[in-house]
Amino acid sequence: MGRNYPECGGMKMKKLLVAGPTRLSGTVRIHGAKNSVLPILAACCLCCSPCVLHNCPDIADVRTALAILESLGCKARREGSTLCIDPTGLDRHCVEPRLAGKMRSSVLFLGALLARFSQAELALPGGCPLGDPIDLHVKALSQLGVRFCFEEGRMRAVWHKRLDGDIRLPLPSVGATENLLLACALGKRTVNITGAAREPEIADLIGFLRAAGADISGAGTSSLQICGVSRLHGATYTILPDRIETATYLCMAAGCGGETELLRCDARLLLPVIERLREAGCEISADADRIVLRSSGRLLPLLPVSTAPYPGFPTDAQALLMAAVLKAAGGSEFRETIFERRFLHVPELRKLGADIQVAGSTARVRGVRQLHGAKLRAEDLRGAAALLTASMMAEGESELTGLCHLLRGYEKPEQNLKNLGASIKSVDIPAPFVYNT
Ligand code: EPU
């Protein structure tokens, strides 16, 4: 009998066995963006008729969002990569704590349910252990007339008066920008946001809301104007390609060496990652929806990499690029400026023989000639992908546990990597033997 992951809602516990070093060659098809589909699923709550979403990844976070929608009274059906959401039965404004605690982006139901019912109740968000403050969401919504009350890990929000407003976000929070868009798309008043986040997934959310009849301008810029409308209809929409999944396979191929082709992706969304991989000596060609990367596997060291809000170098690709340069011919430096706890992968990478020193928000990597297999445990989603990358670059067998983090954001990673030639297999983790006395 296998064990279950309590932190992953009872998902069967597995580990990955990876034999390295591997070269990666072949083709991967990129899925729709996790960080687009999650806010867009929350946005379905605002619509008064069914929505059809194409290019939706089948990953654990999307399954959690669907479970939340169903628990609120919506119907959800998957046909391949298409999700059909019927929000006509939506009649609840409380998100079950069991579901809300599973992922950070459950907080997006705050804006969506406020828009629809003028009130929302949900547990404070969980998910990756990167730190979960939502003070910016709360402050901005309070300025627009929402009153909050917090008790025992739950929050209750009620819209007393829907005020017009000019909101200035002190830092470009992706989630706070999305919550404001969701909360204000319905209801007659005008809200201007300055200092908004400019991530492509926000423009995608705006694209969906506009397709459903919303009046929002400024997509892709840091100044957004939302003129609330009285109702939104259903919409059919295609989710944009996942730039972080794309960056993941590029970094894997760069670190392992080989020739990898990515299809259904958009290179324009990850220019800083492509630029850094070229600097590291990879040959990369890109056209409309395809990227081809060739790497010798022995990369050049990088000039310092500093994470930044879009269009800067994405924090979600920091761990991945760090893994790729572990065997580079020299040292590279990474400065993390977005999240505080985003070096959780470093102690695990060291078990493989990586030479990394961390001082505050800076990690210095000295390239080593060889990495060796080890037992590793992932603590967050992108860290998990980085550990997998480094395991494939290491000599001998590695064991990776904490897979529930990986599966929150990647569809069929094992199959994709096998198709590229990796020696990787997942096995059940047996339940511990218990003596009956
Ligand atoms: N922050 C606050 N207060 C707030 C909100 C954010 O201090 O009220 C801080 C955060 O602690 C963090 C920074 O602001 O230090 C940026 O947070 P942001 O709100 O922009 O991030 P998020 O909305 O929680 C999204 C993505 C993350 C991605 C970040 C940054 C989704 C579902 N998540 O998170 O993606 O890293 O933006 O781009 O869109 C992932 O996919 O693995 C992931 C973690």
- Indicate the residue type of 149: C
Nearest Cα to Cα of residue 31 among 67, 80, 77, 69: 80
> What is the number of the ligand 1 atom nearest to the C-alpha of 171?
14
Whether the pLDDT of residue 318 is over 80: the answer is yes
Strand 190-194 relative to strand 165-168: parallel, antiparallel, unpaired?
parallel
**How many angstroms does the Cα of residue 345 sit away from the middle of ligand 1?**
18
Q: Exposed/middle/buried for 184, CB within 10 Å: 0-12, 13-18, 19+?
A: buried
* Averaged pLDDT, 120-135: 71
Pocket test for ligand 1, best of 68, 273, 338, 408 (most atoms within 8 A of CB): 338
Please report the pLDDT score of residue 320 as a whole number: 98
- Give the separation between CA 434 and CA 437, rounded to whole angstroms: 9
**Catalytic residue numbers, as ranges:** 128
> What is the number of the ligand 1 atom nearest to the C-alpha of 201?
39
Residue 12 pLDDT level (bands cut at 50, 70, 90): low
Instruction: List strand residue ranges (DSSP E) for 51-188, in order.
Output: 51-54, 75-79, 82-86, 119-123, 146-151, 154-159, 165-168
- Give the separation between CA 176 and CA 153, rounded to whole angstroms: 19
| Site of tokens 């998902």 | 11
Q: Which residues line ligand 1 (CB under 6 A)?
A: 34-35, 38, 104-105, 128, 131, 133-137, 171, 173-176, 197, 199, 244, 315-316, 338-339, 381-382, 409
Instruction: Tell the residue nearest (CA) to atom 17 of ligand 1.
Output: 173
Tokens describing residue 239: 């989710």
Whether the pLDDT of residue 433 is over 70: the answer is no
Whether the pLDDT of residue 125 is over 70: the answer is no
Asked if the peptide bond before residue 311 counts as cis, ω within 30 degrees of 0, the response is yes
- Give the separation between CA 95 and CA 119, rounded to whole angstroms: 11
